[in-house]
Structure 1
Amino acid sequence: MPLIDSHAHLDFYTDDREDVLRRAYAAGVHSILAIGIGEGPDTMHRALEIAHASSGEPRIFASVGIHPQEAAKANGKALARLAELAADPKCVAIGEIGLDYYHVENPEPPIQKQAFIAQMEIAAAAKKPIIIHCRTSELATAQAKEKYGEADAWEDLLTLIADHWSPQGIGGIMHCFSGSVEQARRSLEAGFYLSFAGNLTYSKAQSIRDAAVAAPSDRILVETDAPFLAPIPHRGQRNEPALVVHTAETLAVLRGISSQELAAITTENFHRLFRSTEDQSTTDRRDKSS
C-alpha cells in the first residue's frame, strides 16, 4: 500500500528535485503535500507551481500560507495574494500557519496572533483545512525565554483555534506533532489530525510516542517535514519524502500493526481530510492514460 507524505517543502530542493521525487515514488511514496510557505509571502506560490508542473508520479498537492516567523509580512497585499492562491484547485490547505515562540528574532506574539487569525479567516472563506505550526519557548535559548516570558504557544494556539476555527467544522493538521498526550487530546477535540514526523523515531521523544499510541487510528498521518528532521537511521542528513517510510514503520510498531495497515490507515485519513485529493488523483491518472 503506497504512503502519503503529508508535509514536505519541495520548493527547498532546487538542484535535484526530480531525483528526490523519483526516489520517493520508488520507495512507495505516491502522494506528497508540498507546503507553500516559501521564504516568505513573496514566494509562497512555489509549491503550487510544483504541483501544477508535476507529471503525476508521485502526485503532488499544495498548500499556501504565511509561516509565523514571517507574520510581520502578513500585510493586506500578502493576505490578498494568499486568498487568490487559496482558490487554486491544487491548493488543498492553508499552511503552515500558527505560532512560534522559539526563536528570539520571531515577531512578537500579538503580531503572530493577528496573522494567524487573518489566515484562518481566509481558510474559512475558501473552506479548506489549515496546517498548524506550533513551537514553544520551552527548549529555546535564554534570550527567547526572556522575550516570551510565561507566554505558552500551545495555550495561545488552542485558544485562538477554539475562538476562530473550530466553529467552522473544517479541521486541519497539527503538523510535526510534538506535544503531550493532553495537547493531543485537545487538538483532536478541536477537529485536528495529528501528523508525525521523523522526531517520532528519536530515542528521547517519549511524549511524542505516547501521543502517537494514544491517538485514534482515524486521526493519524505521517510526514517528513523534508528537508528537515530526517528520521533514524538518517538523522543529521538532509531529509526527503522517500524517508517517510522510516517514520511510518516506527509508528506501525508503536501501534502494534503492520506497515501495510499503517499505510492504508494514513492514506484513508489524508483523503478524508482533503476530499478533493481523491478526485484529483483519479483525474491525474485518467489524464496520464489518455
Structure 2
Amino acid sequence: MTPSNDTHGSEDRTSGPLTAVTGASGALGGRVAKRLTRAGVPVRLLGRDPSRLPELPGADTAPAAPYGDGEAMRRALAGAHTLFLVSAHESPDRVREHVSAVDAATAAGVERIVYVSFLGAAPDATFTFARDHWETEAHIRVSGVRHTFLRDSWYLAGLPAMTGTDGVLRGPAGDGRVAAVAHEDIADAATAVLLPAGGPDGDAAHDGVTYDLTGPEAFTLAEAAEELSRAAGRTITYVPQTREEAYASRSRYGAQDWEVAGWVTSYEAIAAGEMAAVSDAVPRLTGRPAKDLATYLREHPDSYRHLLTPG
C-alpha cells in the first residue's frame, strides 16, 4: 500500500496492532501519525507536552512521556506493538534519553522499533550528532527487539532555512555534495515500513534493515544557491567558510559549544563526502520518485519567503 500525502480526512475504523508515534507535534512524527490514521492503523501519540499533540481521528494521546522518564515512557507504551521513535532534540544527554526510551519500550513489551537515524551514522562520523545516532542504533541492536533504521539525509527544508536574509548560505561544506530529502518523502517511506502487511508480523521484511533516505540527486551548496535564486527571484549565493570562520560567524548566537560543533560539522560532513550518497529507498518504499530541490521549493514557497526581499 502506498502512503497518502498530507490531506484531510481519516478512516472511521482502525484495526490491527497499536503503533506508538513519538514526535507527533513535529514535522516528521505528525506527518507519519496522519498517514497511519488515514490507513486505519491504531495510533497512540506520545510527547513531552500532550497539549501540543494533534487531534487525529482514530488516535489516542498518552500522558506526558519525556524520553528520559523511563517510567512515564513505559506506561505510555503499554500495549503498543510498534514504536516509531523520532530522535530527541539535540542535547548532551540525547543518547541517554534514547537509551531510556528504548529500555522502556522493551520493558513495556513493544515488539518492534522503527528509529529515525541519520545518514552516515558511525562512531567516527564527521557530523557529531550522527555519532549519537550510531550509539542509539547500537543499543537498539543489542536490546533484542525487532528493528528498522531510517537514516535520513539533510532536510531539503534546511537549505532555505539556513540561508540568511542577506541571501547568503554560509558553511564549511567546500564543494561537497548532499542528497537532501523532503520531510514528505521520509514520512511516506516510514509509513510504508510501519504499515502491517498481511497481519501483525507481515512487516518482518523490514526487520534488521537500514534504509538510507535521500533525495534523487546530490548537489553542492553552490548549486542549491542557484536553485534558491530561481525560486526567490534574486541572487542567492553560497560562501564556503573555513572551520575558524564557521565557528566565529556562529558565536553570536550564544549557543553552547556542543551545539555549535554540531552545526559546523554538519557542513564538514558534506565536505568530507559523507552526505553524497544517493539511495533508491524512497522510490522503492513509496512507489514514486523522491522530490528534488526545485520541486520542494515550488511546493513550499513559505520556506523561502524570508529570501524574497533583500535583508
> Which structure shows the higher helix fraction?
1
State the TM bucket, normalised to the shorter chain.
Answer: 0.3 to 0.5
**TM-score, normalised by the number of residues in structure 2:** 0.36
TM-score if structure 1 supplies the norm length? 0.38
